[in-house]
Structure 1
């Protein structure tokens, strides 16, 4: 009798320590594959592609992670910890305006480093309770950070927490569109947005140079190819 199992795919019916070790190895392979694919291509990567990259069958992937939300939550647990730590660092800054601008730059840098995480910060995952709890924790800290920055007189009174979400959505789009062709473009976007948030007289960071026209053209060509495949 022949087996149709994918190499590296271990059925869950075998008892004993060997099963637990194999199951853990499969879980680690799935997480590594998902982390790599999401970082390069965002959350649009299919579960089937992740299973192939991990060298396991889709049944094994489904046993380890019954839903995509569960997989996303496991893959980005550490990233969400870093996301929460960023607002803590900002709140610890003795200069609330500097803490606020530093927070925006840090979070947008996280997006630029990982397309999957760029998507995570602009989507909701109701079934991933731990991930959403972390997001809620950051939200509470962000509200305090915004209030402190306004009290300095440097952040515009009409700025709201929704503006941070808008920035993250815009930055995710820039990161996706420019890719490796113009990888630092997001820095100029963030600098421009911080300038728009600043009240008159507020200290603002220098504006990074614009990407070369040739780099933006390459990004546009790549984006066109991606959307026509």
Structure 2
């Protein structure tokens, strides 16, 4: 790649990431080109679809997500591996909401997503299978429920000041509901996050 072409590509990726963070994944491609200081034709020559651009912008995050699954597969404790995936990815969601939006969107048909998603999905499915075989995960848990977990977690991380605490507590509640055949006392819940509902008067049993 010529140096000018490489420079244009880098500017497009930097502009796209900044705009995805500030405006969301549906920011117009023309806006990205303008912020990158390149023509729209140049942008589309390098990234013919929005999906291709999103996949390239978040390629490092896809690699990191796949590594989380690979680490879980190497764990000989299936429940701990399952818990690790949920906790780690949800924690990252509080820091990189745009990538998780991309992950949940899936963008079928994009080369970047087609390379990354099957590896993540198949690895998670194997972790789920192992945890069920050990009798630690409810039999009615479905692999697709992972998306529900991420969507629920996304709903509590709107406020950056409370996002980490809210996410940790939500995930702890969810993991308790998923666990079967507990062999030890339940892990204590993380402290409550200072959310709006938390300021309401507590009931006698609350």
- Fold similarity call, TM over 0.5: yes
Aligned length in residues: 197
Q: 1:182 aligns to what?
A: 162
2:146 maps to 1:164: yes
Could you list the runs of 5+ residues in structure 2 that have no partner in the other structure? Answer: 200-206
The farther-off stretch of 182-191 and 65-74 is: 182-191
Map 1:36-185; keep pairs closer than 5 Å.
36-175=18-157, 178-184=158-164, 185=166
Residue aligned with 2:107, SS: coil
Coordinate RMSD, CA, aligned? 2.3
What is the Cα deviation at residue 60 of structure 1? Answer: 2.4
Q: Please, which runs of 5 or more residues in structure 1 have no aligned partner?
A: 1-16, 218-229
CA distance in 1, matches of 2:156, 2:5: 38
Change beyond 3 A, Cα 1:47–1:200: same
CA 1:216/1:46 → structure 2, altered by over 3 Å: closer, same or farther?
Answer: farther
Report the Cα offset of residue 171 of structure 1: 1.9
Q: TM-score, normalised by structure 2?
A: 0.85
Is structure 2 residue 16 aligned with structure 1 residue 34?
yes
Determine the C-alpha separation between the residues in 2 that align with 1:202 and 1:48: 56
Is residue 25 of structure 1 aligned with residue 7 of structure 2?
Answer: yes
The match for 2:175 among 178, 194, 198 is 194
1:87 CA drift (Å):
0.8
Alpha-carbon distance change, 78 to 133 in structure 1, aligned in 2, over 3 angstroms: same
Q: What's 1:224 paired with? A: none
Cα distance change of structure 1 residues 97 and 43 upon mapping to structure 2, 3 Å threshold: same
- Structure 2 residue aligned with 1:8: none
Instruction: Give the TM-score normalised by the residue count of structure 1.
Output: 0.77
**Which secondary structure state, in structure 2, belongs to the residue aligned with residue 88 of structure 1?**
helix
Aligned-pair CA distance for 1:40:
4.2
